[in-house]
Amino acid sequence: MPTHKQITVESTPTERFMGRSASNDLGTAYPASPMALGDMTDDERRQWYQENVLDAVINDGGHTFGEYDTSYTNAPDLADVETGGGGLPGSAHVPNPVSPGPGSHNPADVADPPDGWGQKPSDTWGSGVGSQLQPKASSEKISGQTLGAYILGKSSAE
């Protein structure tokens, strides 16, 4: 099957003026942006993106997530998701619909969900396996993708 190659947009640097962005100012304001890396060939930029985005472990310095693995190799197997009361989800697919009860706003006071609650995900519209595919299984397949190897109209998770 043929692969799809994404084109690279070459922008013209602009100076501050009404109706124009100031690309020089933006490069100064965001020096870590890949756009501020300077002149790179398409292959160099593609390699940079593969290494720093698709195959990276990004560390936000503890701001929100700490370390975030963009390959999703730690995606859950939905059969292993802990469910129930006390602030846990109602199932691996939906939140617990039970409230903590009168006078409480504490999630720890939430009782177990109704029996059978959210055990079968609804089918998603379109083609492919959709909601029936385990995140762990799809993530393992998708994490091996490389730029330039995408097939138009097909997911590597299928």
Check residues 73 and 68 and name the one with the higher pLDDT.
68
Q: What is the pTM of this model?
A: 0.56
Distance in angstroms between the alpha carbons of the first and the last residue of the chain: 15
pLDDT of 154 over the 80 cut: no
**What is the token pair recorded at 30?**
């965001």
The span from the CA of 35 to the CA of 152, in Å, is 26
The phi and psi torsions of 47 (rounded to 5 degrees) equal -65, -40
Nearest-5° angle of CA 106, CA 110, CA 78? 115
Question: Over the stretch 97-113, which tens digit does the pLDDT of each residue have?
Answer: 999 989 999 999 999 99
Percent share of the chain, pLDDT over 70: 83
Check residues 12 and 30 and name the one with the higher pLDDT.
30
The span from the CA of 81 to the CA of 141, in Å, is 21
The span from the CA of 119 to the CA of 97, in Å, is 13
The size of the chain, in residues, is: 158
**What is the token pair recorded at 61?**
């310095």
**What is the token pair recorded at 35?**
């756009």
pLDDT for position 110: 95
Q: Which of 131, 134, 120, 127 is nearest to 155 (CA)?
A: 127
Check residues 136 and 8 and name the one with the higher pLDDT.
136
The span from the CA of 59 to the CA of 140, in Å, is 21
Residue range 62-90: mean pLDDT, rounded = 88
Burial class, 113, CB count within 10 angstroms (exposed 0-12 / middle 13-18 / buried 19+): buried
